[in-house]
Amino acid sequence: MPAQEQMKKALQTYVDSFNEGDAATIAALFADDAVIEDPVGKPQISGRPAIDEFYAKAISAGTKLTLDGPIRGSHGKGAAMALTIEVPAMNLRIRAIDAMTFNDDGKIVEMRAYWGPDDFEK
């Protein structure tokens, strides 16, 4: 099982890589068979090729992330963070909570983003 510190470090790398415009580093945090549900309730994005494309598009839109509090770990294989997501290309701000599940190798196997219509600001 991944250590809490390992999961928190991966999520900090996720945030830092967004803000540096580094989609490849973000995608490399994910296992080959990972799934993303962003936001929860929308169709899942499955597998590394689709995940690579998802993050490349987000980075090309100039997306930036700001942590709204500390990254939280768990006694299991999960960690979560509250974020403000800025998407300048869409003049949009989203308040979200991203929850990640990790495999034993410390790779993200599932990312679930919790945000809905009330979490948008233009």
DSSP bridge partners of 107: none
| Coil, helix or strand at residue 98 | strand
Active site annotation includes 33 = no
- Return the exposure string of 66-76: e unless at least 16 CB atoms fall within 10 Å of the residue's CB, then b: eeeeebbbeee
From 22, 32, 33, 38, active-site residue: 38
From 14, 22, 104, 114, active-site residue: 14
Active site annotation includes 114 = no
Distance CA 94, CA 73 (A): 22
Could you give the residue numbers annotated as active site?
A: 14, 38
